[in-house]
Amino acid sequence: MNINPLILPAFFISTAVATWILLYRATNAAWFLWFVALVWLPLQIALSANGFYLDMTSLPPRFALAIVPPIIFIVFLAVFKHKIHFNNSSLKYLTLLHTVRIAVELVLFYLFEMGEIPRLMTFEGSNPDILSGITAPLIWVVYRRGLVGDKGLLLWNVACLGLLLNIVIRAILSAPTPFQQFAFEQPNVAVLKAPYVLLPAFIVPAVLFSHITVILKLATGNVKSPRDSR
């Protein structure tokens, strides 16, 4: 499939920007998100643009530099700073943030067509994660109107977290590392390159953070009524 070589990267970068804006609206962590925008994201773009992550022979893989720090930070927030985020986070924007998964899945489909990722990472393969993005605004509307309670929103987040973990595991095991288990004929190499490195380095952690924050918030009953939820 022929596609202008500038359109897909531009569309993906726009998706990353939209994710950042929604996360900014969802949390009271302006200083950290500006650090992400001005330091972390440019660093990942620079490293990937220079081919740093394409060396997959070292142990541990260099790619760990893109995914481990965000995961450590999320765990730190969930364990030690969860009360702050319970009080200051917005259920509305944490939920609507998942709409970016529609755009991500479209990007993955075109990357598959270009031979950059395996079919199993797309909605035509073994990745139904696009359903999370499609249902995100719907679940918020019915929750806001009181048609679905906290348990309903909690179950939705748990189910969509499962969809996220499914694609993350498949993506990791499809990458050309010593741990590769799938897609040897067409491995996952797109995320090792700019700008698509921002998928594992930022967008996926943002989505994961949103799920964990909402799940912990709902599980502890630290929410207002649906009509009062920000």
Give 133-162 as a DSSP string. HHHHHHHHHHHHTTSS-HHHHHHHHHHHHH
Percent with pLDDT over 70 in the chain: 92
Mean pLDDT along residues 108-130: 95
User: What is the C-alpha separation between 197 and 107, in angstroms, rounded?
Assistant: 13
**Is residue 224's pLDDT more than 70?**
no
Q: Tell me, what's the pLDDT at 30?
A: 87
User: What is the C-alpha separation between 221 and 12, in angstroms, rounded?
Assistant: 36
Mean pLDDT along residues 132-154: 97
Distances (CA, A) of 212 to 151, 217, 219: 15, 8, 10
Mean pLDDT along residues 166-176: 93
Q: Tell me, what's the pLDDT at 228?
A: 43
**Is residue 18's pLDDT more than 90?**
yes
Place of tokens 């359903």: 131
- pTM assigned to the model: 0.94
Residue 69: pLDDT band by 50, 70, 90 thresholds? very high
Give 72-119 as a DSSP string. HHHHHHHHHSHHHHHHH--HHHHHHGGGHHHHHHHHHHHHHHTTSS-G
Q: pLDDT tens across 173-219, in order?
A: 998 887 789 989 999 999 999 999 999 999 999 999 999 999 988 98
